[in-house]
Structure formats: C-alpha cells, structure tokens
C-alpha cells in the first residue's frame, strides 16, 4: 500500500471516532481508579452507609465500560 493512499484515506470523521474512543478509554481507566479509591477510603474510614458509595462507584465503572464497548462496536 502506498503511503499517499493511506494518508488520503484518513477522514475527519475517522479522526473524531479515534479521539472519541481514546477519550472513553481514559474515562474507563479513571472510573477504575476511582473505584479503587472508594475501596481504600471505605477501609480507612468506617461509615454507616458505605455500601451506597461502593455501589455508585461500581455503577460508574460499569457505565464507563458499557459506553466504551458501545463506541467500539457502533463506531
């Protein structure tokens, strides 16, 4: 394949799709790190309703993975 045809095949929409998937991957990593921070926080500080914070962290991580997978498959 010629390098000029490869460069010519790159479109603005392709660049936007690549950046979107990359950004969603960063968000998924951030959500995973946030879930680990919530786990460390609930071990260090005992609260009455710490399960609510853990559930919200897991929901956030699940949502980020679901959105990432949808972007990969549908884009």
Per-residue pLDDT of the chain (75 residues; tens, 9 = 90+): 688 888 888 899 999 999 999 999 999 999 999 999 999 998 898 888 889 999 999 999 999 999 999 999 998
pTM: 0.83
Q: What is the CA radius of gyration of the chain?
A: 19
Q: Which residues contact residue 64 at a Cβ distance below 8 angstroms, ignoring those fewer than 6 apart?
A: 24, 27, 28, 30, 31
Enumerate residues 6+ apart whose C-beta is below 8 A from 54: 38, 39, 42
* Structure-block tokens of residue 6: 């490869």
Q: Where are the domains of the chain?
A: 12-74
Structure tokens at 42: 């609930």
pLDDT at residue 1 in the model: 65
Return the H-helix or E-strand segment holding 72. helix 50-74
Residue in this structure with the two tokens 């949502």, named with its chain if needed: 63
């Amino acid at each position: 394949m010629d390098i000029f045809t490869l460069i010519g095949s790159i479109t603005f929409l392709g660049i936007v799709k690549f950046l979107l998937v990359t950004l969603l991957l960063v968000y998924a990593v951030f959500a995973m790190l946030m879930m680990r921070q919530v786990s460390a926080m609930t071990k260090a500080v005992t609260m009455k309703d710490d399960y609510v914070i853990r559930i919200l962290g897991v929901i956030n991580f699940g949502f980020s993975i679901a959105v990432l997978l949808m972007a990969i498959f549908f884009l």
